[in-house]
């Protein structure tokens, strides 16, 4: 008999989220982490009312981008703060889904390490990442 | 031996399968770390019994 569990992914692990952003191309020193959220800035250098705990500034994004941020809610889960403009050219649903997939792998790898389990990773034809955790 | 399979779809949907319940603690830990549990079910690995309908289809 097997148990199947379906999960609705939540971004709640700061380290895994930052590691995911690094895997997407930024370096650690390009990613700001703030305990108290701070303002994001727009492409003209204008301070926005939006605030975030984890931020990639527009100078590290390119084009006429605005800052990208993630704000931690009262429940501890992070929500992406991405301008409509940036969603339109690069950081839309597809990018967010890619981030979520990478984040999921990071969380699983960390938990596997804590449990002393080995991880084998493969990618299926439909793009699904399969992780097999084994402990002898 | 404990074994857990995790599928993470390109849209971020996650399913976890543990074998024979021996790794249920690991899958529960992963579920908690990853997000909210949407559903959890057991499946039986035994073959389904032949029904009259199945037999009719087989015999064509």
Q: What is the pLDDT of residues A90-118, one digit of tens each?
A: 899 999 999 999 999 999 999 999 989 99
CB A65, CB A85: distance < 8 Å: yes
A28 in reach of chain B (CB within 8 A): no
Interval B20-51: pLDDT, tens: 666 778 888 888 899 877 777 776 555 545 55
Give me the pLDDT at residue B21, please.
Answer: 63
Contact at CB, A6 and B14, closer than 8 angstroms: yes
User: Which residue in chain A has the smallest CA separation from B6?
Assistant: A131
Record the pTM.
0.85
Q: Give the tokens for residue B46.
A: 């035994």
Which residue blocks in chain A are alpha helix, DSSP H?
14-23, 84-89, 93-114
CA atoms within 13 A on the CB side of A119: 20
A126 in reach of chain B (CB within 8 A): yes
ipTM above 0.85, yes or no: no
Contact at CB, B5 and A132, closer than 8 angstroms: yes
User: Which residue in chain B has the smallest CA separation from A128?
Assistant: B9
Q: What is the mean pLDDT of residues A49-57?
A: 96
Chain B partners within 8 Å of A78 (Cβ): none
**By CB neighbour count within 10 A (0-12 exposed, 13-18 middle, 19+ buried), where does A20 fall?**
buried
Chain A partners within 8 Å of B22 (Cβ): none
Chain B partners within 8 Å of A111 (Cβ): 26, 29-30, 33
Q: Give the tokens for residue B50.
A: 């032949």
């Amino acid at each position: 008999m097997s148990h199947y569990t379906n999960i609705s992914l939540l971004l709640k692990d700061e380290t895994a989220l930052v590691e995911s952003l690094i895997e997407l191309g930024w370096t650690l020193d390009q990613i700001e982490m703030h305990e108290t959220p701070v303002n994001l800035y727009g492409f003209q250098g204008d301070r926005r009312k939006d605030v975030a705990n984890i931020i990639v500034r527009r100078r590290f994004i390119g084009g006429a981008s605005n800052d990208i941020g993630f704000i931690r809610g009262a429940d501890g889960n992070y929500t992406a703060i991405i301008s409509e403009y940036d969603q339109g050219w690069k950081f839309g649903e597809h990018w967010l889904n890619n981030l979520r997939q990478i984040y999921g792998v990071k969380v699983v790898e960390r938990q596997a390490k804590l449990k002393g389990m080995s991880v084998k990773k493969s990618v299926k034809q439909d793009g699904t990442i399969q992780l097999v955790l084994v402990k002898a | 031996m404990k074994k857990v399979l995790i599928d993470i779809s390109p849209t971020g949907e996650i399913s976890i399968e543990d074998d024979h319940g021996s790794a249920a603690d690991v899958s529960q830990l992963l579920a908690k770390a990853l997000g909210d549990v949407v559903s959890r079910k057991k499946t039986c690995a035994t073959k389904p019994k032949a029904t009259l309908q199945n037999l009719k289809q087989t015999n064509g």
